[in-house]
């Protein structure tokens, strides 16, 4: 498997602005397993005042939050979609963000890069961030 270098991305100043303007986050691939990064990051986001909507194919609740099977099932708009899925799936996630509407930011976690998908997100009016961890970056900015 060949790794992509991110050509579409954000910088630290933009990340602060993004966090300042984000209240709700859908976490795509939020595992119920407390040892998984997606669970640890979702918990951190909740603990830091964000409304988190876990998206996962199983479970009814993760971290005390109702679980949704898809972004389309979330009954309200979300500011950010945080992706914990393989790069090949990011295009489908961006398409789901476009279909849902109202998503301002698409963020793929550390190690996850899909330039074509993120370019599509930006052309659709969303800000794209990839290959950064929301927990690490938020902690670096605010703590």
* Matching CATH number, 12-142, of 3.40.50.1970, 3.30.300.30, 3.40.50.720, 3.40.1390.30: 3.40.50.720
Kindly state the tokens that stand for 48: 């830091």
- Do residues 62 and 30 make contact, with C-beta atoms less than 8 angstroms apart? yes
In the chain, the percentage of residues whose pLDDT exceeds 70 is 93
Q: 96-127 pLDDT, tens per residue?
A: 999 999 999 999 999 899 999 999 999 999 99
Q: 72-81 pLDDT, tens per residue?
A: 999 999 999 9
Give every residue of the chain whose pLDDT is below 50, as ranges.
Answer: 1
């Amino acid at each position: 498997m060949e790794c992509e270098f991110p050509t579409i991305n954000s910088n630290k100043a933009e990340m602060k602005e993004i966090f300042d303007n984000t209240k709700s986050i859908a976490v795509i691939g939020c595992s119920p397993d407390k040892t998984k990064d997606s669970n640890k990051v979702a918990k951190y986001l909740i603990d830091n005042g964000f409304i988190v909507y876990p998206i996962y194919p199983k479970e009814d609740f993760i971290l005390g939050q109702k679980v949704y099977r898809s972004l389309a099932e979330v009954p309200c708009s979300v500011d950010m979609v945080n992706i914990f899925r393989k790069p090949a799936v990011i295009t489908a996630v961006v398409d789901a963000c476009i279909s849902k509407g109202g998503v301002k930011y698409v963020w793929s976690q550390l190690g996850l890069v899909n330039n074509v998908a993120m370019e599509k997100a930006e052309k659709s009016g969303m800000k794209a961030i990839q290959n950064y961890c929301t927990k690490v970056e938020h902690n670096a900015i605010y703590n």
